């Protein structure tokens, strides 16, 4: 049985089927992606390199989000490879992103987003986002964590220790894996589980379902990404 349709995952009794694969190796690979904010997206090493175009002194305006244009089902596993190039800064992956009333996040009826953080946690979309390689502020560099937040509302629902060191000590690529299955969210780096959280669907609002995924960076971070894969997760048949 191939890896693309294999019940081997960290959750027992679940089949994973590859539904999206993108090497992120060239401009053509991200042809349909949507950029919010100002950024340079290049491929110097046959990997997607992202870097802010605005000076970090401009605050939130210098940050950006790069959305995959595909819609993904509610129960998914996402994986990608990560190379930190320059710090300080911070990385985020948004997932299960939809309008608060179920709209596509690119629906013209929604407020135009330009990269400032507030649009994504107190705007008109719902989403989860996991932040990792959090090196923007001194307190983040002093104590490394990965944070899971649920929005609308900027709720910090879970966190765990981040094993990725500073750029000078890093040995990339780091293989990152995120699972959303029912109420459960699992985040792993190099096969190490960082957190495993279950949403009760009440404390921080209803369970989130299908939606889009997007990469966010905080300036002046430079990082590279490759080998994005998304699997659908379904119960194994008896």
102, 110 contact by CB (below 8 A): no
| 3, pLDDT greater than 60 | no
Q: Write down the pLDDT at residue 237.
A: 82
| 99, pLDDT greater than 90 | yes
Q: Write down the pLDDT at residue 111.
A: 97
| 219, pLDDT greater than 60 | yes
Domain chopping of the chain, boundaries:
17-235
Worst-scoring range by mean pLDDT, 128-132, 203-207, 233-237? Answer: 233-237
| 200, pLDDT greater than 70 | yes
Assigned CATH topology for domain 17-235:
Jelly Rolls (2.60.120)
Rounded to the nearest 5 percent, the helix, strand and coil shares of the chain are 10, 50, 40
* Mean pLDDT for the stretch of residues 124-131: 98
| 141, pLDDT greater than 70 | yes
Residue 4 banded pLDDT, cuts 50, 70, 90: very low
| Strand, helix or coil for residue 120 | helix
* Mean pLDDT for the stretch of residues 200-211: 98
The percentage of the chain sitting over the pLDDT mark of 90, rounded to a whole number, equals 95
Q: Token pair for residue 1?
A: 């049985």
Tens of pLDDT, residue by residue over 5-15, are 454 568 989 99
Tens of pLDDT, residue by residue over 145-173, are 999 999 999 999 999 999 999 999 999 99
Question: Of 100, 115, 2, 109, which is closest to residue 60 (Cα–Cα)?
Answer: 115
Q: Write down the pLDDT at residue 238.
A: 76
Q: Write down the pLDDT at residue 8.
A: 53
80, 226 contact by CB (below 8 A): yes
Q: Write down the pLDDT at residue 2.
A: 34
What are the distances in angstroms from CA 158 to CA 2, 67, 190? Answer: 33, 24, 19
| Whole-number Å distance between alpha carbons of 199 and 97 | 16
Q: What is the mean pLDDT of the chain?
A: 95
* Number of neighbouring beta carbons within 10 Å of residue 1: 7
């Amino acid at each position: 049985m191939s890896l693309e349709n294999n019940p081997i995952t960290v959750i027992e009794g679940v089949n994973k089927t590859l539904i999206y694969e993108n090497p992120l190796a060239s401009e053509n690979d991200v042809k349909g992606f949507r950029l919010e904010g100002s950024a340079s997206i290049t491929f110097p090493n046959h990997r997607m390199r992202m870097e802010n175009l605005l000076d970090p002194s401009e605050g939130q305006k210098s940050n950006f989000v790069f959305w995959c244009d595909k819609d993904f089902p509610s129960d998914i596993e996402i994986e990608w490879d990560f190379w930190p190039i320059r710090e300080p800064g911070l990385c985020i992956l948004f997932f299960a992103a939809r309008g608060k009333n179920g709209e596509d996040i690119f629906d013209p009826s929604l407020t135009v987003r330009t990269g400032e953080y507030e649009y994504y946690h107190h705007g008109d979309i719902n989403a989860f986002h996991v932040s990792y390689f959090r090196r923007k502020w001194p307190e983040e560099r002093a104590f490394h964590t990965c944070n899971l937040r649920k929005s609308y509302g900027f709720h910090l629902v879970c966190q765990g220790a981040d094993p990725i060191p500073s750029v000078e000590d890093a040995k990339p690529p780091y293989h990152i894996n995120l699972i959303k299955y029912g109420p459960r969210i699992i985040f792993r780096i190099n096969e190490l589980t960082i957190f495993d959280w279950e949403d009760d669907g009440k404390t921080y609002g209803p369970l989130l379902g299908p939606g889009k995924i997007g990469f966010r960076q905080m300036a002046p971070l430079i990082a590279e990404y490759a080998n994005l894969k998304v699997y659908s997760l379904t119960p194994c048949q008896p």
